[in-house]
Amino acid sequence: MTLKELNFFYKLCENPQVTQLANELNISQSAISLAIKSLENSLNEQLFDRIGKKLILNEKGRVFKERTLSHYLALVDASHIFEENKLAGNIKIAASKTISNYIMPNIYFDFLSKYKEVKLDISTINSTNIIERVLKSELDIGLIEVDTQNSNLIKEKLASDELIVVSSDSLYKKEAFIDSINKRWILRELGSGTREIFINHIGTIAKELDIFMELQDFEEIKTIVLGNKNCVTALSKVAVKKELKERKLFEIKLKNLKLEREFYLIYHKDKTRNLLFDTFKEFIKSRFS
């Protein structure tokens, strides 16, 4: 059954005169009759008694109306949801931990404050998992901190970032070759963008480092480094901005090495583009720029 057939049915419930109803709707009587016949065939029941030129609701029709009218009205209402507000909807987004923890909270808040009919389903997971979920169409948008080459993904650059090496030891040398830093390394876990960028940049030197612990959470890493002067870590400048300003952590500048990377916004190439999606995407990009 269709909404059109149901619309004719409920209008006939109020006005059984087919001729009058046809004139009111500016359609032919046969169009109404065919629609009602199709509805009755789909139910395998007659809903009206044919009396002269009238279609009079019968006992089957009355119970059908009683049980379906509220659902029909809800469906009609649903069909108009996006007419008044094209920016209503639910977006599924995931960001890697650096982006999620230190950049996105205010962006999420400001977007939701501006667009009241939008809901965000927000996740914080590592870049590898984000890429996998976007490829499976489980996410609308992913924000990652590693480069990726996949023909099924659209990738847009958001901003540049730099990893820096930090220690709580204020007396330690301020500049060094990475393989001369004789401290315990506390790194992010496998699969994280931060770790991947770090390992890729230093190459075979990674085997020479004393990688003491691998953790998922930035705050856990910072807690250990803050409490142990014999430890160092490599994190985004964004993640240690506060501690550097308060002189609780100190940067060890690397000789002949810069740990640079890009932040990217990704989505599936077959993702349906609409006003809500494009508005949210451009809002994020404008805030990063």
Name residues whose C-beta falls within 8 Å of residue 208's C-beta, 6 or more positions apart in sequence. Answer: 179
Q: Which of 286, 287, 238, 250 is nearest to 96 (CA)?
A: 238
Residue with tokens 């994190």: 235
Whole-number Å distance between alpha carbons of 289 and 284: 9
Work out the number of other CB atoms within 10 angstroms of the CB of residue 271. 16
Phi, psi of 115 (to 5 degrees): -120, 95
Whole-number Å distance between alpha carbons of 25 and 236: 65
Residue with tokens 């550097």: 244
Average pLDDT over residues 208-215: 92
Residue 85 has pLDDT above 90, yes or no: no
Q: How confident is the model at residue 246 (pLDDT cuts 50, 70, 90)?
A: very high
Residue 182 has pLDDT above 70, yes or no: yes
Whole-number Å distance between alpha carbons of 131 and 51: 65
* Residue 209: DSSP 8-state: S
**Residue 225 near residue 186, CB atoms below 8 Å:** yes
pLDDT in tens, 125-136: 999 999 999 999
pLDDT on residue 225: 97
Burial 201-216 (b: 16+ CB within 10 A, else e): bbeeebeebeeeeebe
Minimum mean pLDDT among 29-33, 76-80, 114-118, 257-261: which range?
Answer: 76-80
Give, in order, the Cα–Cα distances in Å from 241 to each of 99, 135, 144, 179, 247. Answer: 14, 33, 20, 25, 10
| pTM for this model (two decimals) | 0.69
Residue 192 has pLDDT above 90, yes or no: no
Average pLDDT over residues 92-109: 95
Average pLDDT over residues 94-98: 94
Residue 80 has pLDDT above 80, yes or no: no
Q: How confident is the model at residue 273 (pLDDT cuts 50, 70, 90)?
A: confident
Average pLDDT over residues 77-95: 80
Residue 1 has pLDDT above 80, yes or no: yes
Residue with tokens 């995931």: 94
pLDDT on residue 50: 87
Whole-number Å distance between alpha carbons of 220 and 239: 12
Q: What mean pLDDT value characterizes the chain? A: 92
pLDDT in tens, 23-70: 888 899 899 889 999 999 999 999 999 888 788 889 999 999 999 999
Q: Which of 165, 171, 149 is nearest to 236 (CA)?
A: 165
**Residue 200 near residue 193, CB atoms below 8 Å:** no
* Residue 207: DSSP 8-state: G
Q: How confident is the model at residue 116 (pLDDT cuts 50, 70, 90)?
A: confident
Q: Which of 99, 212, 225, 100 is nearest to 165 (CA)?
A: 225
**Packed helices 59-79 and 3-14: angle between N→C axes, nearest 10 degrees:** 130
